[in-house]
Structure 1
Amino acid sequence: MSPKRKLVRKIQKISQKLCNNSSPIMKEQSLWLLRCFLITRRQSDWINAGFVLPTVVMVSLVVVLLTTAILFRSFERSKNASNVRVNEAVLNAASPALERAKAKIDQLFKDPRLPRSTPSDFSLTQVIGENISEFTFGDETPLKVVKDFNSTSGIQDEETLNTAWKYPVDTDNNGKLDSYTLYGIYFRTPTSNRPRNPLEARTQPMDEGATGGKCQSDVATSADLVGSQGWYKVGSKLKRSLFIYTATVPITDTTGLGNNYEKFSGNKGFVALEYQQDRERIPLNNNAVLYENDLEIAPGFGININGRIFTNGNLLTRQSGTAASNTIRYYLVSSPKS
């Protein structure tokens, strides 16, 4: 037993004896003194009472909140990583459509059924529209895009677009086709008397010389539109813009499809791409000589030619005799001696 407790026991015994042998007044006073002594002795313990429980509760609360925040952040990072992978997959699936469309554009402008002059919107639409099977790959399905913008009865020809296709793709590389890639070629140009619609080229062709930050006078505008052919006068050339739009969408219903199709599983993503290609033509008035077949220049008394010579065949040039007057001279338009 500690010395303090022994002291308390002795005080209690002495106080008991005093209480038993004293008057009631003395008993009350002795009890009051004893109570004050005990309270004074335990006061130091009461000062620290109630400190441990709030501290433990506060520390526990901080730990729980911190753990919850870490778990929430971990789930968000995992979700973001999954979305990035899905976006990359659908982007890789949509990108090959651009190459398909560019190959079809090259085939269209090389088609012998186009007029030898600068082809118009009507000529391009007629060639690709009437021979759509020649511009469709084996796994593709032709589509028709319709947009009613005239608010008239029935759908007009200019409110339909036939240069659109779709083909199935496998985005997760499991051997099952789970998405469709859709793409279209937009090349029609409106006349200046109405705004553009969603089935036409979105903007005019770009000007390579307008990259200096200053507005130049030869940037293509609607006023530079050459007739109704869809070509713009940009500098010394004729240009037209062609747009390709492509997107990959997931398959949500396999009804009527083969066994090699499946519903898209996992996070669904959507990526749309826009590609602009400008085609250009050099006007015929930029050529001093324009010839379809083999061209032979062999004058008997000499000749001076100012400007460019164009021929779809061979160019043969010679002079007759040795006299200076029989010399053939070619000059650039910008030459001082031109």
Structure 2
Amino acid sequence: MAKPQLTQVLKMLLRNAKRLDQRLTAQERFWLMRSGFVQRQPEGGFILPTVTLLLLMLSLVLGLLIFRTGTRTNQVIGERQQRQVYNAATPAVERAKTKLEYLFTEEPIPILPSEQDLETALAKDDYQLQDEQRIDINNDGVLDNAWTFRFDSDGKPGDDTVVAYSILTRSIAYAPTDPANPNNPVVAAEIQDDDPTKADKLVVRSSPINTTGVGQRPDCPDLGRSLYVGWEQVGGSQLRKSIQVHAVAKSLNAGNSTIATLEMQQDKQANLGNKWGAWFRYDLEIFPGPSFNWNGAMYTAGNYIIGDSTDRVKFYPISAPSSCVYTESSSEMAIGEFKQDVNGGTPWQGQYVTGSMKANDDRGDSRIFLFGQTANPQKIDKANDSVVANTKPADVALNPVLVLTEDINQTRANSAADNVKSAAATRDAAWNGRAWVTSKRLYGKDEATPYVDDTFRADNRWGPKPVYAKRRPRLVLKRVCRFLTLAKTKFRGPMRNY
């Protein structure tokens, strides 16, 4: 009885299954088959591999951080040691700069000293400080202009760094003179040779820094030559000489092999008297009838007073841009700004005033071509000259009696020598922003009296000497400095003992 009932139930199930199959859509069949036949992955073994991978990644990150920390620590220690040694080399450069400053300002050397004059002066005991020792750096048996001293770089008791530095002034070195031919010395090294050759003969490594570019052009090969041995011609009216300071510092601490090297170059510049087309101790006045065109450099220790006409006064550079003597220095128009040797250094400030003294008015104008400009010159009139509005030429003009008798700059309208604070000669605040000032075409500066003879003097009053009963005028020696760091250092001679 049970068997027929079971058979009937099975038939009913099959019938319902067939009916269900007919009613199912394709999407419902796919879902049903996927749910029934796709086997689920066991989840029991998933945690261990994940934890292992995370631990491995964490270990790598921690290891990298520890390695980076250790490397950075060593790097900081090395940089600190290098900085300590480098700081020890810096005082050597400062010592050398002080010696050079004394050499060119206090030492009784010629106006244009030769290399032998400089070396002889530096060889004096006056240039050896108390804690220094003069050394021989090229093993020729002669003590050179080089010194060594010890230095405390870390603040702890005792000196931990040895420093050596030298001052080189030679641009050419000669071999020992042949007694049989003393008038024909043999050149042993010059500035064009390689560095090892120059180092053995104590010749500077490089020529003066030529900021003008003149003398380097292929069409001006002779302009860089000079009649003064050791000085190089820059343009037509300037001489420059290269002086180099080399400093080496080495740590004396065990385990610290840090070596610092430093090179400083100073270029001494001398202006020859033929730079200036016009050099006036008194006010420079221009109020022409016909057109007045000027080429070249001009200086007044007083004031420029130019005007009384329109578009008649034009100031041009020294020559055409393609000329070998076309330089900014040879084209500048300078106005005296300096401290006088009276009343503890009273300042003087020259002015550029539009107008004329004969009528004491501010009429007229002047035109100035900027360096590199060949057209459209700048116009200067009462609206943009160096003084405030309503300033007349007589307000700023020099007192000629004081100039000739006492060599003092003082305006006629002011009894005080300090014209900078004078209300009658106040400088226009916008003057320093003018194009001719920012480009160094027309600007104020302190310029030493050049050495000229009667040929250059317009008044022919005092002869060749520009000043009497005053300190000896000195040629201006300017400094242009640059710092270089050498990549390698080679110790020679006595340095091996440290």
Q: Report the CA distance between 1:226 and its aligned residue.
A: 2.5
Query: Of residues 65, 74, 79 in structure 2, which corresponds to 1:84?
Result: 79
Alpha carbons of 1:284 and 1:311: their partners in 2 closer, same or farther (altered >3 Å)?
Answer: same
Report the residue type matching 1:205 in the other structure: P
- Structure-2 residue corresponding to 1:127: 121
Q: Distance in 1 between matches of 2:117 and 2:254?
A: 44
Query: Of residues 269, 272, 287 in structure 2, which corresponds to 1:283?
Result: 272
Q: Report the CA distance between 1:107 and its aligned residue.
A: 2.8
Cα deviation code 1:160-194 (max 9, x no counterpart): 77111111011110121011111111110027696
Cα deviation code 1:178-228 (max 9, x no counterpart): 111111111100276962512211111123434xxx996599989724257
- Is 1:273 aligned to 2:262, yes or no? yes
Q: Report the CA distance between 1:126 and its aligned residue.
A: 2.8
Query: Of residues 186, 193, 205 in structure 2, which corresponds to 1:202?
Result: 205
**Aligned 8 A contact 1:233 1:239 in 2:** yes
Query: Of residues 282, 304, 310 in structure 1, which corresponds to 2:458?
Result: 304
Q: Distance in 1 between matches of 2:76 and 2:69?
A: 11
Mean Cα displacement is larger for which, 79-88 or 66-75? 79-88
Tell which structure's C-alpha radius of gyration is larger.
1
- Structure-2 residue corresponding to 1:234: 234
Query: Of residues 37, 50, 54 in structure 2, which corresponds to 1:55?
Result: 50
Q: Report the CA distance between 1:67 and its aligned residue.
A: 0.7
Cα deviation code 1:134-161 (max 9, x no counterpart): 21100011111117xxxxxxx5x9xx77
Q: Report the CA distance between 1:84 and its aligned residue.
A: 2.8
3-state SS, counterpart of residue 162 of structure 1: coil
**Aligned 8 A contact 1:170 1:179 in 2:** yes
- Structure-2 residue corresponding to 1:300: none
**Aligned 8 A contact 2:171 2:191 in 1:** no
- Structure-1 residue corresponding to 2:169: 187
Note the residue ranges of structure 2 that are not aligned, 5 or more in a row.
Answer: 1-38, 173-186, 280-403, 406-456, 471-498
Query: Of residues 151, 156, 161 in structure 2, which corresponds to 1:169?
Result: 151
Note the residue ranges of structure 1 that are not aligned, 5 or more in a row.
Answer: 1-43, 148-154, 252-263, 290-295, 298-302, 316-338
Q: Distance in 2 between matches of 1:193 and 1:89?
A: 33
**Aligned 8 A contact 1:243 1:277 in 2:** yes
Q: Compute the TM-score of the two structures, normalised by the length of structure 1.
A: 0.57
- Structure-1 residue corresponding to 2:8: none
> Percent identical across equivalent pairs?
26
**Aligned 8 A contact 2:191 2:205 in 1:** no
**Aligned 8 A contact 1:246 1:272 in 2:** yes
Q: Distance in 1 between matches of 2:225 and 2:143?
A: 22
Q: Report the CA distance between 1:68 and its aligned residue.
A: 0.3
Alignment of 1:234-253 (within 5 A): 234-235=234-235, 236-251=237-252
Report the residue type matching 2:242 in the other structure: S
**Aligned 8 A contact 1:167 1:180 in 2:** yes
Alpha carbons of 1:209 and 1:161: their partners in 2 closer, same or farther (altered >3 Å)?
Answer: farther
Superposed CA RMSD = 3.9
Q: Distance in 2 between matches of 1:77 and 1:219?
A: 55
**Aligned 8 A contact 1:166 1:180 in 2:** yes
Alpha carbons of 1:136 and 1:125: their partners in 2 closer, same or farther (altered >3 Å)?
Answer: same
Alpha carbons of 1:203 and 1:309: their partners in 2 closer, same or farther (altered >3 Å)?
Answer: farther
Q: Distance in 2 between matches of 1:239 and 1:186?
A: 15
Q: Report the CA distance between 1:117 and its aligned residue.
A: 4.8
Q: Distance in 1 between matches of 2:132 and 2:260?
A: 20
Q: Distance in 2 between matches of 1:125 and 1:219?
A: 35
Q: Distance in 1 between matches of 2:220 and 2:145?
A: 25
Cα deviation code 1:236-270 (max 9, x no counterpart): 1111010111121012xxxxxxxxxxxx1575433
- Structure-1 residue corresponding to 2:99: 104
Q: Distance in 1 between matches of 2:254 and 2:153?
A: 10
Report the residue type matching 2:77 in the other structure: S
Report the residue type matching 1:169 in the other structure: F
Alpha carbons of 1:193 and 1:127: their partners in 2 closer, same or farther (altered >3 Å)?
Answer: closer
- Structure-1 residue corresponding to 2:318: none
Alpha carbons of 1:127 and 1:221: their partners in 2 closer, same or farther (altered >3 Å)?
Answer: farther
Alpha carbons of 1:286 and 1:60: their partners in 2 closer, same or farther (altered >3 Å)?
Answer: closer
Q: Distance in 1 between matches of 2:58 and 2:153?
A: 42
Length, aligned pairs only: 232
Q: Distance in 2 between matches of 1:105 and 1:125?
A: 11
- Structure-1 residue corresponding to 2:426: none
Q: Distance in 1 between matches of 2:72 and 2:100?
A: 42
Q: Distance in 1 between matches of 2:466 and 2:205?
A: 35
Report the residue type matching 1:122 in the other structure: Q
